[in-house]
Amino acid sequence: MPKSPNRGIGKADALCWFGATGDLGYKMTIPALYAMARHGNLNVPVIGIARDELKLVAFDERIRASIDEHGGVTDAKALDHLMDSMHYVHGEYADPATFTKLKRELDKVGAKAPAHYLAIPPSMFGPVVETLGSSGAAENARLIVEKPFGRDLASGQELNRIVHSVFPEDRVFRIDHFLGKEEVQNLLYFRFANSFLEPIWNRNYIASVQITMAENFGVQGRGAFYEEVGALRDVVQNHLFQIMALLAMEPPLGMGDLALRDGKERVFAAVETMTPRDLVRGQFDGYRSEPGVVPDSDVETYAACRLHIDSWRWAGVPWYLRAGKSLPEKCTEVHVELHSPPQRVFADSDVAEGHGNYVRFRFAPEISIAIGARAKVPGEAMVGSSRELYLCNEYPDEMTPYERLIGDAIRGEGLLFAREDGVEQAWRVVDKVLTKHSPALPYEPGTWGPVEADRLITKDGGWHDPVLARPTSETRV
């Protein structure tokens, strides 16, 4: 078992942001830092590090342009505070002189416990970590690193080895922005804050679990990037696995973030290794015409898989996960199918109109929870229809995932970050099928992927395609 993560390391006193002029920084980090300033949570100096030889005034202009593009300035004092907090260092990431300049800036602001945030290409993770160590800039510091954490089990283990040669596990914060979403945290809260769910949350009552992450657009000009990852690496192995872990984890042994995190990470070790027959890969027609995509590409833009968790709670319960681009809807949803009642009391109680009872969690486009049940239709006949008890949070989250995650890492709170053991076990689950698999099957944009994915579910009612229309009967809060 790894060392207790992130316990007692205190707060960072500076944020060293590598990749400060990159695309991720422009779209995500700068708006997050501005939001932190608006909410009074930006209490440390920020040192941007990048290869571009910019003057501080040019860096400031880039920050203002990003804020203007992503919502605009709504709080002039917060913007002034952000600008006053910013510093800039330029230089190559492999050049020790860059880290000498960084150390000089850290001394200038009096930082003794910085947080080094790597928003840079994965190929640079190792060299930057090693140079942080040799330069002395890693002393009493912590590391925040973006995904992907490797490309397979071997590279993930090697990256962890390099990271741990400089930073102990309790000072490593691996960002998966999906864990910073309000709707994902709502799932965790709902599971353990309500007593009615736990008695049925096991193989005795649950027949199957489906997790769908659908996008109704293609790769949007990022064909070269997708050629390197594909849907299995980009979405399933991280985002959907994290949802699965929150659904499958045992109740924590005690209170607090550490107990919750331990419960979540233990799930990955119990997931059986995926085999080729558990995976169907698809590629939407037209993908090979995208810029940066090779003419004979076999990269999947759709992946559907079947998993089993080897535990007392989940023995015999299949978990079906799928993610894809150019599908009919943009929606992320969990469908937990319950077993049918043991006796058929009414003639229509198992008609094809509805399957068994279910619990449904939707993360996007809205945050909602629904319970599917059958209720009698008014009249003399003892017949019913499927209805939903539906709870929806229509208030958008004021805190973006990056604002929450960067703030948590600065404060030393580790619950929403991936841990060493979980990362390696997640790669272990998919490692064999990353290279040993069937060809990607074509599917038409606007459909739910290749029909061959239906073979993964021979029972359990087939795939439950998310429908974005409101239920006909609902109870709302």
The per-residue pLDDT for range 369-386, each reduced to its tens digit, is: 888 877 777 776 677 767
The domain segmentation of the chain, as residue ranges, is: 14-175, 179-399+417-456
Average confidence (pLDDT) over 100-122: 94
267 contacts 248 by C-beta, under 8 angstroms = yes
Residue among 87, 116, 177, 239 flagged as catalytic: 239
**What percent of the chain shows pLDDT beyond 70?**
91
Q: What is the spatial distance between Cα 406 and Cα 328, in angstroms, rounded to a whole number?
A: 33
Residue 471: predicted pLDDT: 46
Joined tokens for residue 56? 């501080």
What number of other Cβ atoms are within 10 A of residue 68's Cβ? 10
Query: Which tens digits make up the pLDDT trace of 340-366?
Result: 877 676 666 654 444 578 999 998 888
In this predicted model, which residue has the larger pLDDT, 369 or 448?
A: 448
Residue 225: predicted pLDDT: 86
Task: Please indicate whether residue 355 is annotated as part of the active site.
Answer: no
Band (pLDDT 50/70/90 cuts) for residue 438 is: very high
Residue 355: predicted pLDDT: 59
Across the chain, mean pLDDT equals: 88
Residue 473: predicted pLDDT: 42
pLDDT at 477 over 50: no
Joined tokens for residue 215? 């996008």
In this predicted model, which residue has the larger pLDDT, 187 or 409?
A: 409
Beta strands 206-214 and 14-18 are: unpaired
Residue 472: predicted pLDDT: 44
pLDDT at 2 over 50: no
414's CB contacts (< 8 A; 6+ apart) are 5, 6, 170, 173, 257, 258, 261, 408
Q: What is the spatial distance between Cα 362 and Cα 393, in angstroms, rounded to a whole number?
A: 10
Hey, what CATH topology would domain 14-175 get? Answer: Rossmann fold (3.40.50)
Query: Which tens digits make up the pLDDT trace of 307-345?
Result: 999 999 999 999 999 999 999 999 999 999 998 877 676
Q: What is the spatial distance between Cα 227 and Cα 223, in angstroms, rounded to a whole number?
A: 6
Radius of gyration of the chain (CA): 24
Domain 179-399+417-456 has CATH 3.40.50.2300: no
Question: Does the fold of domain 179-399+417-456 match that of domain 14-175?
Answer: no
Range of lowest pLDDT (61-75, 85-99, 102-116, 458-472): 458-472
Band (pLDDT 50/70/90 cuts) for residue 37 is: very high
Residue 391: predicted pLDDT: 77
Residue 91: predicted pLDDT: 92
H/E element, 205: none
CB-based contacts of 59-65 (< 8 A; 24+ apart in sequence): 59/20, 59/21, 59/86, 59/88, 60/86, 62/21, 62/26, 62/30, 63/30, 63/34
Residue 474: predicted pLDDT: 43
In this predicted model, which residue has the larger pLDDT, 2 or 245?
A: 245
Beta bridge partners of 331: 214
Residue 4: predicted pLDDT: 40
Residue 61: predicted pLDDT: 92
Cα dihedral 136, 139, 141, 145 in deg (nearest 10): 50
Residue 395: predicted pLDDT: 57
Query: Which tens digits make up the pLDDT trace of 145-204?
Result: 988 888 999 999 999 999 999 999 999 999 888 888 878 888 888 888 889 889 999 999
